[in-house]
Chain A
Amino acid sequence: MDLFTEGDPIADAKAPEGPIETRWERRRFEAKLVNPANRRKMTVIVVGTGLAGGSAAATLAEQGYRVRSYCYQDSPRRAHSIAAQGGINAAKNYRNDGDSIHRLFYDTVKGGDFRSRESNVHRLAEVSVNIIDQCVAQGVPFAREYGGLLDTRSFGGAQVQRTFYARGQTGQQLLLGAYQALERQIGLGNVEMNSRHEMLELVVVDGRARGIVVRDLVTGEISTEMADAVVLASGGYGNVFYLSTNAKGCNVTATWRAHRKGAYFANPCYTQIHPTCIPVSGDHQSKLTLMSESLRNDGRVWVPKAKGDDRSPRDIPEDERDYYLERIYPSFGNLVPRDIASRAAKNVCDEGRGVGPTKLGVYLDFADAIDRLGRKAIEAKYGNLFEMYERITGEDPYEVPMRIYPAVHYTMGGLWVDYDLQSTIPGLFVIGEANFSDHGANRLGASALMQGLADGYFVLPSTIANYLAAGPLEKVDAGHPEAVAARRDVEDRISRLLAVDGDRTVDSFHRELGQIMWEHCGMERSEAGLRKAIDEIRTLREEFWQRVRVPGDGEGLNQSLEKAGRVADFFELAELMCIDALHREESCGGHFRAEHQTPDGEAQRDDDRFAYVAAWEYTGTDEPAVLHKEDLKFEYVHPTQRSYK
């Protein structure tokens, strides 16, 4: 059976015409408005309370819409945006170092390896400056200089210092700003907050998104909530790999359920693997912890020259070490971009030169920096990271080199959206990491926070009004046949999961799925590996529905049941990721196909065949997905081969 078929291309992503710097302004002017009295009669559902969802819910409520907000955590403040460390980019040019909106736009398109949409990225760069103003007004405690003005630093290969930060907790502080704005609206009665609730189905009536089916995770009660529009801000799907830097609860269910109802899923194979994470320590490992990219400023990455060299790192003499990044990439050295550093680590470990108990690790050594700058200086720069490392590993990185290994961190793919952030289902908007829009095949550091807040504070609140203004929509309630059917689907699925009563736990399936994905759809992919993975995923999915054991019932808090539903959706997503990776016969950004590399082992794009967004349409489990191509045009940034040697 064919894995997929090709359908009609996507002709129009609805970006306005004209010079790129005028497009967003024109879109806002042309967008229809909803008068304040009518906004009070309209309900918008927002799923997820991270940077995108929290800021969108607060802003829509400020504008006068009735908002219903949902999150699976016990409080909207805990969404995983909170764990972002490094910073947020903005083209303020406070440093007078040559930054501009155009340069941020250019860097982001290039960093995405020419697989993103120019119009969207330019808009992102434009609103980046408003985000900083907004957050400062909310009391976000950004780092400041002695003169009282904002400090910035450089990040991920950029040649300007445009990254605003709050120590190593920038995500936390930005999220608390959005959360507090949201809580204010909750206190005013403009937002109905539903924490510990999980969206399990989308309700589509007459082709439009009109509601969701949710489960109250405390009481187990299933309810149907109707609205004039639905916004998904439910984050990325990195947990399909089981081990990732994502929070344990992060999942694809909200977007996957929408995909099954007709929303196209774009570029699912674009995954970001971060090079500096603490390695797996054993089979019990439940998640991976990131060590900030900034460490590569002073740490040197190396492995022994000889295979299977088991000596303690301090006993390996200098001439028996391979500082492989410095050797292969002399001009960028230890500071090559994330995708390059990750793959190089994998290669040396595949050669049998990995270190640590599992041999899946490389050293990040600060001995030279400590000699050069003194221990005090290193403590001042990285003290909190060194402490965190020691807490987790029990090793003192001042004495022995850190061991690091790449880990899944972010997913650039997501539901396809047009310029208005609307999916292929009218009335269904998708924002933040949940959509595919701005990062192409590789996201630059400090750009995730920028995109989440751009979408939530500024873009969506303008574009959703244009949709709502075309109303009023016909009144529908939870008794509508489509709503009743969606609810019944949810109930049936829960009953099915509980009824299997097999002999394997959900986690054991999730772990096995993760291994398949990491092995064949991780840092390096090949046709043979991907075909094998697809077979293995299908077999494992069948086994899941025959052997999984979900204890308890659906009546109250049942964390095993929550996990089972999420893993069931991950199985279906995993297959689509492999199909997407298989069909894209080129290497770009985070997607590296072994068959498509330059003679010296670098990623080789094929712009003639693959300069498009792959948007996938669902046609049924075990039915071939349909591929719709959206051609990417580069009018302002001309594609070139990236080189870091």
Chain B
Amino acid sequence: MNLTLRIWRQKGPEDKGRMVTYQVDDVSPDMSFLEMLDVLNERLILQGEEPIAFDHDCREGICGMCGLMINGDAHGPQRGTTACQLHMRQFSDGETIDIEPWRARAFPVIKDLVVNRNAFDRIIAAGGYITAPTGSAPEAHSTPVPKVDADAAFESAACIGCGACVAACPNGSGMLFTAAKITQLSLLPQGQPERYTRVIGMVDAHDEAGFGGCTNAGECTVVCPKGIPLDTIGRLNRDYLLATTKRGNTPGS
């Protein structure tokens, strides 16, 4: 099939950026979306132009490195699918496709379709862990975890940190990402001692990074390739509220 692509080109963080139109012909429906961009890039290189920069790595939907706005949808039209797993049979001959980077205050553009998502790492560094230095762990079976809790923790732990939730949110909020980690760790007995300091630390880091607040628009969960449920944000809010009543880590509170 033959396609018209309108792609965001931006030389660097200071460049204003613009949409540029490219024609790509003889696209196989069996190609992945990123392979279609590979074909275009090969051609651009041979024409003496700079290829389009985009992030990708595993190309099997798990590393979270890829992320493209495709016709205004984070990761494109197929639900539960990262851009790298999207295939061209989802599009039709003659179509025009708009390709843009994630757009959010907390994710500045580095070049073309590549953005800086280090803010997510800073949120994790502010409490998205259980303190358990190597060697200090008790025998694994000393703490049973009810299967229903373990399964729910897994569901939230499936987040790949791609940032689609932020890109889709009208407020540029990173709440779904933050809530997924808080939910995973607060469901497990091992996560209880740091439960309330964790939520304060992570939410503060989230706000400092320039993410917007959550207004329950719910776009995040729709585009999430791993289907992280919206009610994780409810759980975060509940823990946050409780945490504010436990002032200053007062013993026993």
Contacts and interface: CB of A to CB of B under 8 A. Distances in A.
Q: Do A and B bind each other?
A: yes
Interface of A: 55, 58-59, 62, 73-78, 80, 82-83, 92, 94, 130, 132-134, 136-139, 141-150, 166-167, 169, 172-173, 176, 179-181, 183-184, 186-187, 193, 195, 218, 245, 247-249, 281-282, 284-287, 289-290, 388, 391-394, 457-458, 461, 503, 505, 507-508, 549, 551-552, 556-557, 559-560
B128 A136 contact: no
A82 B188 contact: no
Contact of B125 (A187, A249, A388, A394): A187
A247 B134 contact: no
A388 B125 CA distance: 32
Interface in B123-147: 124-126, 128-141, 143-147
Contacts of A461: 134
A137 B138 contact: yes
A284 B38 contact: yes
B81 A286 contact: no
Given A169-B158, A284-B35, A137 B190 contact: yes
A205 to B, nearest CB: 30
B53 A184 contact: no
B31 interface: yes
B28 A559 contact: no
A183 B129 contact: yes
19 contacts: A59-B133, A74-B118, A76-B121, A77-B121, A78-B161, A80-B63, A83-B58, A136-B143, A137-B190, A139-B153, A141-B150, A172-B62, A176-B157, A181-B134, A183-B124, A285-B35, A551-B51, A557-B110, A560-B51
Interface of B: 12, 28-32, 34-36, 38-39, 42, 44-46, 48-51, 53, 55-65, 78, 81, 85, 87, 89, 110-111, 114, 116-118, 120-121, 124-126, 128-141, 143-147, 150-151, 153-154, 157-158, 160-161, 184-185, 188, 190-191
Contacts of B131: 184
A394 B30 contact: yes
Contacts of B185: 139
B183 to A, nearest CB: 11
A293 to B, nearest CB: 16
B51 A559 contact: yes
B89 to A, nearest CB: 5
Nearest to B61: A388
A148 B146 contact: yes
A557 B114 contact: yes
B129 A184 contact: yes
Contacts of B144: 144, 147-149
Contacts of B121: 75-77, 183, 186, 193, 195
A248 B56 contact: yes
A83 to B, nearest CB: 5
A181 B58 contact: no
Given A139-B185, A507-B38, A507-B42, A134 B59 contact: no
A559 B146 contact: no
A285 B56 CA distance: 15
B46 A549 contact: yes
Contacts of B137: 130, 133-134, 136-138
B87 A83 contact: no
B58 A247 contact: yes
Given A141-B184, A148-B147, A183 B125 contact: yes
A277 B140 CA distance: 34
A533 to B, nearest CB: 25
B154 A551 contact: no
Contacts of A560: 45, 51
Given A76-B121, A248-B58, A505-B46, 5 more contacts: A82-B62, A141-B154, A181-B129, A248-B57, A458-B134
A187 B126 contact: yes
A180 B62 contact: no
Contacts of A144: 144-147, 150-151
A94 B190 contact: no
A557 B111 contact: yes
B125 A145 contact: no
B57 A139 contact: no
B213 to A, nearest CB: 23
Contacts of B59: 247-248, 286-287, 289
A167 B154 contact: yes
Contact of B45 (A83, A193, A549): A549
B73 to A, nearest CB: 16
Contact of B60 (A134, A166, A289, A508): A289
B45 A505 contact: yes
Contacts of A145: 147
Given A248-B57, A284-B39, A551-B49, A74 B117 contact: yes
Given A136-B190, A286-B35, A505-B42, A556 B12 contact: yes
Contacts of B62: 82-83, 169, 172
A75 B60 contact: no
Given A73-B65, A141-B157, A148-B147, A218 B110 contact: yes
B15 to A, nearest CB: 11
> What are the 8 tightest A-B residue pairs by CB atom distance, in nearest-first order?
A148-B144, A187-B125, A137-B137, A180-B129, A137-B132, A141-B154, A133-B137, A183-B125
Given A73-B63, A133-B138, A394-B87, A139 B190 contact: yes
Chain A CB within 10 Å, residue with most, of B110, B117, B146: B110
Nearest to B37: A286
B81 A391 contact: yes
Contacts of A173: 154, 157
A141 B153 contact: yes
Given A134-B134, A173-B157, A559 B53 contact: yes
A609 to B, nearest CB: 40
A406 to B, nearest CB: 17
B82 to A, nearest CB: 10
A372 to B, nearest CB: 28
Contact of A74 (B32, B51, B116): B116
Contacts of B50: 551-552
B124 A247 contact: no
Contact of B132 (A138, A141, A282, A289): A138
A67 B210 CA distance: 28
Nearest to B156: A141
